[in-house]
Amino acid sequence: MSEAVTGHSIFSIEITDPSDVVSARSKAREIAAGLGLGSADQTRLATAISEITRNVIQYAGPGGGVCRLFDESDNEWIRIRIEVEDWGIGITDVVAALRDGYSTGGGLGAGLPGARRLMDQFDIQSHPGCTKVEMSMIRRRHHG
C-alpha cells in the first residue's frame, strides 16, 4: 500500500457500539465544515458514513471496525477520503450488495448503493476476515 497518496489522517474512530455510528457521523460533519464543504455536502458525507459504519455494527460481529478520515485537499480541490474497515465475515457478493434492494439483514438494501450515490469515488474490497470501503468526496475550491 502506498502511503504517499493517502493524505494525512485527521480523524479515526473505532466502530464497536451503535453510539459510535452517531459519533462518527457528527464528527465527520464537523470536519467537513472545517475543510470548507457546504452544508449539503456535509450532510451527504455524514449520511454516507452513517450507512457504512452501521453496516459494520450490523454485519461485522463483535470485533467491529474502524472509520478513518483523510484530508487530501490541495490549493484547488477539497478532497476528503473515508476508509471504513472491519474484520468480520465479509461481503459474499459485492456486486449484488451494491444493488438497490439487496439485503441479507432484512433491511431496505439502501445503504451501500445510497452511500455510493452521495460520494464521488466509492470502492469496496471484501473477503472473509476483512472488508474495506473507501470513498471520497471531491469539490473544487471557490477562490475569492
Partner 1 sequence: MRIPILRLGNILLTSIQVDLTDEDVMLFQNDVVNEVSRTEAMGLAIDITALEIVDSFMARVINDTANMARLLGAEVVVCGIQPTVAMTLVEMGRGLLGAQSTFNLEQGLIVLRQRIVQRADLWAFDDDERSRDRPFNF
Give the residue, chosen from 6, 9, 26, 104, that forms a contact with partner 1 under the rule CB under 8 A: 26
Residue 21 in the binding site for partner 1 (CB under 8 A): yes
55 or 126, CB closer to Mg ion?
Answer: 55
> Could you give phi then psi for residue 83, rounded to 5 degrees?
-120, 125
Helix (H) or strand (E) holding 51: helix 39-59
7 or 102, CB closer to ligand ATP?
Answer: 102
Q: Using CB under 6 A as the criterion, which residues of the chain lie in contact with ligand ATP when the complex forms? A: 51, 55-56, 58-60, 86, 88-91, 97, 102-105, 107-113, 131
34 or 107, CB closer to ligand ATP?
Answer: 107
Which among ligand ATP, partner 1, Mg ion, none contacts residue 105 (Cβ within 5 to 8 A by kind)?
A: ligand ATP
Give the list of residues 6+ apart from residue 103 with CB closer than 8 angstroms, or none: 109
Rounded to a whole number of angstroms, the distance between the first and last alpha carbons of the chain is 37
Residue 106 in the binding site for partner 1 (CB under 8 A): no
Do strands 121-127 and 130-140 pair parallel, antiparallel, or not at all (unpaired)? antiparallel
Contact 58, 124 (CB under 8 A): no
Q: Provide the minimum distance between the beta carbon of 116 and ligand ATP in the complex, in angstroms, as a whole number.
A: 9
Q: Bridge-partner residues for 68, per DSSP?
A: 12, 83
Give the residue, chosen from 40, 75, 143, 144, that forms a contact with partner 1 under the rule CB under 8 A: 40
